[in-house]
Structures are given as C-alpha cells and as structure tokens.
A and B are shown apart, each in its own frame.
Chain A
C-alpha cells in the first residue's frame, strides 16, 4: 500500500552510477620502490597512466579510477508521463558521491622513481575481490488465505467460498543483492460454501486457480531500516554487497503480475445443478507482498504476507447473480528457497 501511495504521489527514485578507468592495483603499487624502480618497470607493472606531465625533466604520472554514485528522490506531477510529456518536479532531493582513487608517481631526470603516493577513498575496491555473482533460486511457498474481499455477485466472496490456500513455486534470478526477477507458478483453492441465494439454499463447487506471474523483489538487510540515514551503509548494501554471499535476516517487498486460469465453478440451488456461477477463463492478476527471509548460504527460509487481486471471473450460465467484482485475498505463509 505504501508503494501504491508513493506511485500515485509521483515519487521517482533514481540510482545512477558512473565509473571510469580500472580499480587500482594496490599490490603492484606496493612493489614500486623509490630510488630504485625505473620508469619502464613502472609502466610494465601498471600500464599507461591516465595523465602525464613532464616538468623540469621530471615525469609525473597519475593513475586514476573514478567511481561516482548519484541517488535522487523526485516528486512529480502528474505522476506518470502523459500525452503532453511535461511533468513538473516540485521536490527533488539528491545525494551524490564521486570518489577518485589515485596513484601518483614522480620520476627524476634519470627515469628513476623519486616519489610515489596513493590515495584510496572509501570507494576503493580491491581488483582481486571476486566480482558480484548472479544467484539463481527456486522457492516453494505455502500460504493460507485468511481474508477474502470483493463482491462475488450473489454474495461476497467470503460468503461463497471458504478460506483457502495457495501453493507456489518461484524461479528467481538475482543479478544484484537487492533485486530479484521472479517467475512464479501456483495453484490456489477455495472450497465452495453453502449460502442463501434469494431465500433458497445454494452451494457452489470449489474455486480452483492456476497462476502464472512475473515480477520483481527488492531485498535489503533488516538493519537497514534503522540505519537508512547512514549513507555509507546504504551505499555498501546497494553497491558493494555480493548477492552470492549475502547472509542473515533480510526484509523484502515484491510485486508480481500475470494471469490466472480458473476452472468452472458449478452452482446448485436446493441441491440441484443450475449451471455455472463462473465460467472457466483467464484473468489478469496482481500481487503485492512483504516478508522476512533468513539466508544461510545455499538456502533461505521466509515468511510473508501478501495481497492478491484477480480481475472479475467470466459470468456463468446459471440464473444466479454472477456479476462479480475483482477477487481479492490477503494471504500469510512461508516457504523455503534453494540458492545456486
């Protein structure tokens, strides 16, 4: 719901990163010896410098690696691009950091290293540090639908069906520690109930749904909630952490959308079949969820709460009022994840 409100308010989050050059080879720098290493040896070890000056017979070399991050929050109106194109930004907050790592070498007139210096700000990354790895995952979940919302036609959905369950399998692709692309398939079932339909006893068969959805999950360590004002911490989580080595308790929010195939829901009045309340069909679906997961390496366990909405089911051929609104449900559950 918070996400929905943020979207409607025209909130836009920008994360832009720019890098130039290669991370500096710290070990090679350490091997350079003043009064001993020659210019050609230094060039062989470090390659060509980004900047060169020659003054009074001395060579000045600079090896540079720049890493800049610009994060911003914009509030615009209208929230989404329109035919007219113009969006007015009425508030923008930016936080930018640009760090430059530098090695400076000075060679004397005999081409021997006279002086060396190294500057490694916080953005320094060890070139030998393993690059961030992509993670694939397979997740199984079981959820209990404890609340149903919406008008099912003849009665509200919560009167027509019993509380149900959903089981699902999700294939995840995690290109970065905070982002997972999701592909989900699931089965959901709500047992049919008995109810009064115009002073006549009625009952329906079970609601069976086959779900196929894609979406995205944003994940961050739980402690980020109270350390959000610590920019260095946020930057580390977003830009330096490795998805493959992320561990511990993590908070996530996710959104998925796709389709649901529903079986025909048969109806009976006074125990006699009167046709279908809802015809079989495929409807548009959407889900929002939030949860906690504990990651321990090759696996993870999670609990979550989610909100699900499915477009109105196709009307059946019975004479019962079957002009339904969207089917909505709130589910709680948990599951296990395999990571590889």
Chain B
C-alpha cells in the first residue's frame, strides 16, 4: 500500500500541473503605415504628428550646440511569458521583442534617414527549450 501511495504521488507529479500564460506590453505600438510616411526632409513636427512623441531623444553633445536634437527613438516592447508548473518540475520562458524606430535629423533639423525594426509581434509563447 505504501509503495502504491508513493507511486501515485510520483505519477501525479508527472501529469498534474498547470500552465501560465502572460503578456506585457510597454508603450503604444508603432503603426507601420505611419512609419512608411516618414520621408527624408520632413520636419520634427511632421514626424511627431505621424509617430507621436518619442520615448527618447539623442542630443548632439557637441560643444557648440549640445542640445541639438540628433535623433528620436520610438519604441514598443512586447514580452510574453509561459510557465508550465508540475508538482516537482517547473518550466518558465519569457520572450521580449521590440518595435524600434530611430529617426535621424541633420543639422537643419530635417529627417536625414530612418532605421526601423518592427519585431514586437514575433514574441512567442513556448517551452524554454530549443530556439
């Protein structure tokens, strides 16, 4: 009977459990259509009208114009969490992906060029194993 009880506990520890799925989003998403409208030569105002306020500003730090705005950074972060809890074995996995856009301005304050990575949608649930 004792052996049976121990075996029962071990079996339950294998097969009983629960899964936890979580999703966390930080800041608003970057609209790809609005991003596509950002063109070289646009003013800062036009850029912020399309993409909203930037999360971060990179300043020039130069001696003669230290506060010249060199680039705007727009960012949206999605993190998804997966947890699989067994009685004696727990697996957890988090995957963080970002939408990130950098808009560089020339010395006259016009858009010089744009760099973007829209990857937030690629955040995926899964086991901690594999890629």
Contacts and interface: CB of A to CB of B under 8 A. Distances in A.
Contact of B90 (A14, A55, A179, A255): A14
A257 B11 contact: yes
B112 to A, nearest CB: 8
Interface string B62-100: 100000001101000000000000011111111111101
4 nearest A-B residue pairs (beta carbon) = A132-B130, A43-B115, A47-B117, A255-B14
A175 B100 CA distance: 31
Given A39-B113, A43-B115, A53-B58, A17 B128 contact: yes
Given A43-B115, A54-B71, A328-B4, A240 B130 contact: yes
A101 B117 CA distance: 17
Nearest to B96: A20
Contacts of A254: 14
Contacts of B91: 15-16
Interface of B: 1, 3-4, 6-15, 58-62, 70-71, 73, 87-98, 100-102, 104, 112-117, 119, 122, 126-131
Nearest to A6: B88
A317 interface: no
B101 A132 contact: no
Contacts, number: 169
Interface of A: 1, 3-8, 11-23, 39-40, 43-44, 46-50, 52-57, 69, 79-80, 125, 129, 131-132, 149, 175-179, 214-216, 238-243, 254-257, 286-288, 307, 309, 325-326, 328
Given A18-B94, A216-B15, A7 B10 contact: yes
Given A19-B96, A43-B114, A286-B8, 11 more contacts: A4-B10, A8-B9, A13-B89, A17-B94, A48-B117, A54-B70, A255-B10, A287-B11, A288-B11, A309-B7, A309-B8
A132 to B, nearest CB: 3
Contacts of B126: 175
Contacts of A43: 102, 113-116
Given A14-B92, A22-B122, A325-B1, A132 B129 contact: yes
Which of B15, B100, B101 is most buried by chain A, counting CB atoms within 10 A of its CB?
A: B15
Given A19-B95, A49-B102, A257 B15 contact: yes
Contacts of B122: 22
Contact of A52 (B73, B114, B119): B73
Contacts of A80: 87
B3 to A, nearest CB: 8
A309 B113 contact: no
A239 B126 CA distance: 12
B19 to A, nearest CB: 12
Given A176-B130, A214-B15, A256-B11, A21 B96 contact: yes
Which of B13, B14, B90, B104 is most buried by chain A, counting CB atoms within 10 A of its CB?
A: B14
Contacts of B100: 47-50
Contact of B13 (A7, A14, A49, A307): A7
Contacts of A5: 6
A55 B61 contact: yes
Contact of B97 (A7, A14, A22, A286): A22
Given A12-B90, A39-B104, A129 B119 contact: no
B15 A255 contact: yes
A241 B1 CA distance: 41
9 contacts: A5-B6, A12-B88, A14-B92, A16-B92, A43-B102, A257-B14, A257-B15, A309-B8, A326-B1
